[in-house]
Amino acid sequence: MNFIGANILSVDQFNLDDVNTLFSVAEKMQPYATREKVTKVLDGAILGNIFLESSTRTRVSFGSAFNLLGGHVRETSDVSSSAFVKGESVRDAARILSGYSDVICIRHPKSGSVNEFADFSRVPVINGGDGSNEHPTQALLDLFTIKKELENKNRDLSKLRIAIVGDLLFGRTVHSLCKLLSFYPNISVVLVSPDRLSMPTDIVEYMRSAGLSVCISNNFNEGIKNVDIIYTTRIQEERFETKEQAALYRGKFILNKDIYSKHCAPETVVMHPLPRDSRPEANEIDFDLDSNPNLAIFRQADNGIAVRMAIFAMVLDVVNQIETSSAKVNWHVSR
Ligand code: CP
């Protein structure tokens, strides 16, 4: 695809070459993401960051990525103080806010709303998550992380065995990730969820048609055996009609030090799009795994900066100008 001026709405837009090109740009962004260098390549540009649902990582990392490219960020993150509460339509908001911005990131609780917003926007729109549908940039940073974690173990994606665990019905990150994994036909996937929260059949078929081996299970201890990566997720409480319904599924699949040492291969990498639900009744990844070097969740979140910088640089067509407007940083923070 041609990234210049494009909306980024779904992983369906990409082919493997597109993803590899994006990842090579993300690698070039690493010195900026880790604040070894700064660039002013987007000086004067404005990101409209519109989050109509709660977010920490996606909202702040999109904003930081834009700032690290030298651009400015205008946020709409409190629905109650926006004109949406006066009944303004998505299409009118798109017409208006795209006049104030050079690119827009938007998260919306309703599946398909980001596409509607993009139809009426005058500038490129990036999907920061629409309902339970898709979260394309999260899936890109997840795949980027999977590649890097495997590289650290002198592996690549061939013959990867991955368990994808949790709320696979409502979890938009896993919907997008499963489609991206389908670029690699010799991957084996175990989809582990309560029966009621299983992966939508169209996505299972999508993976199987691409040649992946897909096993569906509701047995956590069995599902996480003999895999290279466990990608676990939170029960998406906000998608259930009542909190009581969500509570029926919380705490079913807790990964902790004891379970990991009993059931997982010693080098199994653990990923999660975050936030992990750390309430005792949920606790899908216990704090007692935080000292395990195979816990990749914080490296994964960090990778969001480089991947999102790459998306902005490609969509706004400044990839080749970044170096010429870069400088060493004046400060030092040890991370
Ligand atoms: N992974 C993710 O989307 O996190 P936030 O909800 O904090 O943005």
Kindly state whether residues 140 and 124 are assigned to the same domain: no
Kindly state whether residues 34 and 121 are assigned to the same domain: yes
Kindly state whether residues 261 and 275 are assigned to the same domain: yes
Report yes or no on 335 lying in a domain: no
Q: Cα–Cα distance between 291 and 332 in angstroms, integer? A: 26
Backbone angles phi, psi at 8, to 5 degrees: -115, 95
Per-residue pLDDT at 335 exceeds 80:
no
Summarised one tens digit per residue, pLDDT across range 216-232 is 999 999 999 999 999 99
Kindly state whether residues 116 and 260 are assigned to the same domain: no
DSSP state of 156: -
Kindly state whether residues 127 and 246 are assigned to the same domain: no
Residue 58 designated active-site:
yes
Average pLDDT for 3-22:
98
Domains identified in the chain, total number:
2
Q: Please tell me the residue having the least CA distance from ligand 1 atom 6.
A: 55
Average pLDDT for 275-304:
97
Instruction: Check if the beta carbon of residue 181 is closer than 8 Å to that of residue 189.
Output: yes
Query: For residue 189, what pLDDT band results from cuts at 50, 70 and 90?
Result: very high
Average pLDDT for 178-186:
97
Report yes or no on 292 lying in a domain: yes
28: domain CATH number?
A: 3.40.50.1370
Q: For the chain, how far is it from start to end, CA to CA, in angstroms? A: 36
Residue 148 designated active-site:
no
Report yes or no on 1 lying in a domain: no
Q: Quick one: what percent of the chain has pLDDT higher than 90? A: 95
| pLDDT, the chain, mean | 97
Kindly state whether residues 153 and 103 are assigned to the same domain: no
Q: Cα–Cα distance between 128 and 290 in angstroms, integer? A: 27
Report yes or no on 123 lying in a domain: yes
Q: Cα–Cα distance between 102 and 45 in angstroms, integer? A: 6
Per-residue pLDDT at 333 exceeds 90:
no
pLDDT of residue 23: 98
Ligand 1 pocket test, pick from 51, 52, 54, 57 with the greatest ligand atom count within 8 Å of Cβ, gives: 57
Per-residue pLDDT at 35 exceeds 90:
yes
**Residues contacting 305, CB < 8 A, separation 6+:** 29, 33, 61, 64, 65, 68
Per-residue pLDDT at 250 exceeds 80:
yes
Question: If we measure between CA atoms, which residue out of 221, 122, 216, 130 comes closest to residue 176?
Answer: 130
Average pLDDT for 186-209:
98
Report yes or no on 4 lying in a domain: no
Report yes or no on 227 lying in a domain: yes
Kindly state whether residues 178 and 288 are assigned to the same domain: yes
Among candidate residues 59, 107, 234, 276, the one labeled active-site is 107
Kindly state whether residues 207 and 164 are assigned to the same domain: yes
Report yes or no on 285 lying in a domain: yes
Kindly state whether residues 27 and 100 are assigned to the same domain: yes
Please list the helix, strand and coil fractions of the chain in percent, rounded to the nearest 5, in that order.
40, 15, 40
pLDDT of residue 331: 87
For residue 88, the CA-to-ligand 1 centroid distance in Å is: 25
Length of the chain: 335
Residue 107 designated active-site:
yes
Quote the domain boundaries for residue 76: 11-134+304-328
Q: Quick one: what percent of the chain has pLDDT higher than 70? A: 100
Summarised one tens digit per residue, pLDDT across range 95-113 is 999 999 999 999 999 999 9
Report yes or no on 333 lying in a domain: no
Kindly state whether residues 103 and 21 are assigned to the same domain: yes
pLDDT of residue 127: 98
Pairing type for strands 72-76 and 103-108 reads unpaired
Kindly state whether residues 160 and 285 are assigned to the same domain: yes
Residue 34 designated active-site:
no
Query: For residue 257, what pLDDT band results from cuts at 50, 70 and 90?
Result: very high
Kindly state whether residues 124 and 207 are assigned to the same domain: no
Q: Please tell me the residue having the least CA distance from ligand 1 atom 3.
A: 58
Among candidate residues 39, 59, 76, 135, the one labeled active-site is 135
